Amino acid sequence: MSAPSTQTGCVIGVDLGGTKLLAGVVGPDLAVRHRVRRRAFGLDQATLMTTIVDAVDEARGAVAEDVVAVGFGIPVTLDRRTGAAVYSTHLPLAGVPFAAVMSERLGLPAVVDNDGNCAVLAETRFGAAAGASDVVMLTLGTGIGGGLVMGGKLQRGWIGAGGELGHMVIDMDGPPCQGKCPNRGCLEVMASGSALVREASLRVARRPDTALGRALEDGHELTGPFVTELAHDGDPVARDAIATVGRALGVGLSSLVNVLNPEVIVIGGGVIGAGELLLEPARAEMHARALLPARDAVRIVAAAFGDEAGMIGAALLAREPSA
């Protein structure tokens, strides 16, 4: 991967998810000099903002190079007319003029965008979709973020609130979506990391005599990464849960293929740790539902930057705010 800029100095990219925060000091060569991780779940607004500032300050203090700017990818809808965060399913950020507040508290130029936009920027510029002009990205974590690049340009919608692909409905009678979302059967509630935990819990209750069931009996916490680990080890309940989530993902992918005709769909976020256990059933479901010729032309791939795509993209945005 080539470097995005010859500009001297480092930038900090911050990826804020529904449950955790990742901040990284990123050089002009895209090398990550230092990483800071924080829990972001269950915090009130004041505590969350302080947690973010503390994480950036720690990252900044861990490197000798100058830090010239900070970029934030946050899971909110933004109104680019005002710069305010308007709505977040998972975090108490509504109404916050986020970039202005962070710039004042950190004493650095700050830029903010939706976390899915940051992720697709990284993967289109230097990752799994490098060279493609029409790209869709889904980030599968606690929720599902989305990002669109069409005709080589990041698409944010009229006022900046577009690309909320995780809230595309794939089952009108499905379960209620997460957090404050008023809908039912969104892709997010059917194919996220939270959905994986739900599906594994339902299945292990019926089939407790497996490695997953025994681990839970011994007090192990049921988490998406643990389900994925056991799936890679061959646990049938864990594999079945991932395949179910993969098929739900494929339903959403078929609509994206039909509507947008992308060249590449990139799947990132923590759930992509499942790899082909997730992507194979997703591709098969998409192939069964989508229309020709877009169906056979699209590539569905894992993110090259893994679950750090949002952080890398936020750093790119800090270096090039007009992206």
Question: Within 10 A of 172 (CB to CB), how many other CB atoms are there?
Answer: 8
Model confidence at 72: pLDDT above 60: yes
- Please determine whether the domains at 10-121+308-319 and 131-303 fall in the same fold group of CATH: yes
Answer yes or no: are the C-beta atoms of 68 and 109 closer than 8 Å.
Answer: yes
Per-residue pLDDT, 2: 35
Domain residue extents for the chain:
10-121+308-319, 131-303
Answer yes or no: are the C-beta atoms of 275 and 98 closer than 8 Å.
Answer: no
Residue 12: strand pairing partners: 25, 70
- Report the distance separating Cα 200 and Cα 197, nearest Å: 5
Residue 85: strand pairing partners: 78
Answer yes or no: are the C-beta atoms of 258 and 224 closer than 8 Å.
Answer: no
What are the angstrom distances between the C-alpha of 53 and each of 15, 144, 253?
13, 25, 36
Q: For residue 235, what are the contacts with CB-CB under 8 A and spacing of at least 6?
A: 210, 211, 212
Q: What is the band of 3 on the pLDDT scale with cuts at 50, 70, 90?
A: very low
CATH architecture type of domain 131-303: 2-Layer Sandwich (3.30)
Structure tokens at 182: 């008023």
Q: How do residues 122-136 score in pLDDT, each as one tens digit?
A: 999 999 999 999 999
Was domain 10-121+308-319 assigned CATH 3.30.420.40? Answer: yes
Q: How do residues 154-183 score in pLDDT, each as one tens digit?
A: 999 999 889 999 999 999 999 999 888 999
Q: What is the band of 4 on the pLDDT scale with cuts at 50, 70, 90?
A: very low
Answer yes or no: are the C-beta atoms of 273 and 303 closer than 8 Å.
Answer: no
Q: How do residues 216-233 score in pLDDT, each as one tens digit?
A: 999 999 999 999 999 999
DSSP SS3 for 38: strand
Query: Rounded mean pLDDT of 7-17?
Result: 89
